[in-house]
Every structure is written in C-alpha cells, then in structure tokens.
Structure 1
Amino acid sequence: MSLENDIRRGRHCVFLMHVHLVFVTKYRREVFTQAILDDLRVVFASVCADFEAELVEFDGEDDHVHLLVNYPPKVAISNLVNSLKGVSSRMIRRKNYPSIRKKLWGGALWSPSYFAGSCGGAPIEVIRQYIEQQQTPH
C-alpha cells in the first residue's frame, strides 16, 4: 500500500499516526492459546473501531500480545489502552477459558503496566535534518 493511501484526514488535520502496544499478562503467566489470541484480535479490533482507530497488526505469545494501531490525533493513548485492556479482560474472562481460570485469579488478566512506542514515518534524525534545512526568513 502506498503512503498516500495510509494518510488519513480529519476535519481540520491530515495525519498518519501509529503506536506499537505491548500488554503482558498478570504475573507474566503463560495462559494464551491460539483460540484466546483469535478472540483477543476480534475484541481489540472492535475497541479500536470505537475510537476511530484501526488495528493494523496483532499477534502474541503465551504471556503477552503486540498490537500495531493506526489512531487519530484526538485519541489519548492512555484512554485507548485502558479500554483495550479493560474490555478484553472482561470478554476473555466471560468465556471461561480453563488456562486462564487455573493460572489467574482475582479478576485481572493484564499486568497494570504496558509498553507504547510511536512508530512509522521517517526516522527522527531525518526529520531533524529536514527541519534544520528550512529556509528561515531574515
């Protein structure tokens, strides 16, 4: 897909923003199966849609997941993360997976912490050089 197709437009802005999120299970317990990861993908995509964001990529291992999300500038990452973790925890626990019921107790699926890294676009050094080379009026 070309860069032009990835650029999104709002009422007063043009943007291309991606964030890489990593969520870890409580106590780093190894509870995820392929079926659980498939369910998480559906839940995460739905929550992203509620925020006018897009789940671009998703995968995980038995104790953590990675998400790549394209989001609009009006979305606070912390609010997005709180919804993603809260809704997914409720939905997955509702399905009563034995691996989760056996290894996690007390109602929490996720560790309270998370990783969020901005990504996409040009490297910082290239942007810095571009800004330095602007023709400043005298």
Structure 2
Amino acid sequence: MKKNNQKLYGYQTTNRAKHNLKVHLILVCKYRKKLLVRGVETDTKNIIRDIESNSDFDIIEMETDKDHIHLMIQYIPRVSISAIVNRIKSISTKRIWKIHQQFLQKHFWKEKTFWTDGYFVCSIGEANPETIRNYIANQG
C-alpha cells in the first residue's frame, strides 16, 4: 500500500479498484487493566508501527489511554479488518511479553495475554452520509 515510503491517505488504486477505506479501531487491555503505563505504551506503539511496516495497512493516527489504544487505519479491500486486528494482537502480545514480562506476570499469573478477545471498529468516511444519499437518489 505504501508508495515510495510516502503515506498517502486519499484514494488508493489497486489492480482494478479505486478505494479509500478507513476505520477507527479500539483495542482494550484484558480485564480493562491499566497496562499501558510505565513505558509499555511507548513499546506497544513502536511494536504496532513495526507490524504496520510489514503489512497491507497504514496507521494514520494512534494514541493510548491507560487501558486501551485508538488507531485510525487505512487498508485495502483484499485485507479484512479481523485479519488486521488478529495480526496486531497476536504479534504485539508476544513482543510486549518479551519486553515487559516481570510487569505483566503481576497482572496475569496463569496466561500470557494482553488484549481482550473483542475490539471496537467503526468505518469512517470522507463524505457526509446525507450528501452520498442525495447523490445516489439523484442519479439517472
């Protein structure tokens, strides 16, 4: 998706499609524990940026709170949101545990987990829905 190491956040072209797919994604720490503190938040962001660099999606914006992270992601049609989420969660959990094992063992003494099973995702559009509705209604 990246072109000449330049992030393009407008319309993208792949094969026979032109698209601009963006979502707001929220990942929450398991049991809403406040784990994104004491350097864990910075390492988590760096890990997710590294995952992005080897994936078919771009992170437009990313910020953490103590128990969750918000991401605005642009992706291409052949990649599903669930695949993006699974990739981010699985890789980041393993890497965060490697770096912060002592801290995380205090919170999860039986399992090596970090994120909840679920996630929040919402598509975001560039146009007002009413504008699109009127455009479609006035065709022909």
TM-score interval (norm. to shorter): 0.7 to 0.9
**TM-score, normalised by the number of residues in structure 1:** 0.87
For the 8 Å contact 1:24–1:114, the answer to whether it is kept is yes
Unmatched tracts of structure 1, length 5 or more:
none
Q: Percent identity?
A: 28
Cα separation, 2, equivalents of 1:79 and 1:47: 12
Over the aligned positions, Cα root-mean-square deviation in angstroms equals 1.7
Q: How many residues align?
A: 132
AA partner of residue 133 (structure 1): N
Unmatched tracts of structure 2, length 5 or more:
1-7
Give the C-alpha shift of residue 48 in structure 1.
2.5
Alpha-carbon deviations, 1:46-74, whole Å to 9, x = none?
A: 22333321111110111110011111111
AA partner of residue 57 (structure 2): A
Q: 2:113 aligns with which of 89, 92, 108?
A: 108
Partner residue of 1:73?
Answer: 77
Cα separation, 2, equivalents of 1:31 and 1:41: 13
Give the C-alpha shift of residue 91 in structure 1.
0.5
- Is 1:20 equivalent to 2:55 in the alignment? no
Please identify which structure carries the higher helix content. Answer: 1
Partner residue of 2:3?
Answer: none
- Is 1:127 equivalent to 2:132 in the alignment? yes
Cα separation, 2, equivalents of 1:5 and 1:25: 28
Q: Which runs of 4+ in 1 moved over 6 A?
A: none
Cα separation, 1, equivalents of 2:105 and 2:48: 21
- Is 1:56 equivalent to 2:60 in the alignment? yes
Q: Provide the secondary structure at the position in 1 that maps to 2:116.
A: strand
AA partner of residue 110 (structure 1): W
Partner residue of 1:83?
Answer: 87
Bigger mean CA deviation after superposition, 63-72 or 103-112:
103-112
**TM-score, normalised by the number of residues in structure 2:** 0.85
Give the C-alpha shift of residue 21 in structure 1.
0.6
Partner residue of 1:118?
Answer: 123
Cα separation, 1, equivalents of 2:49 and 2:125: 20
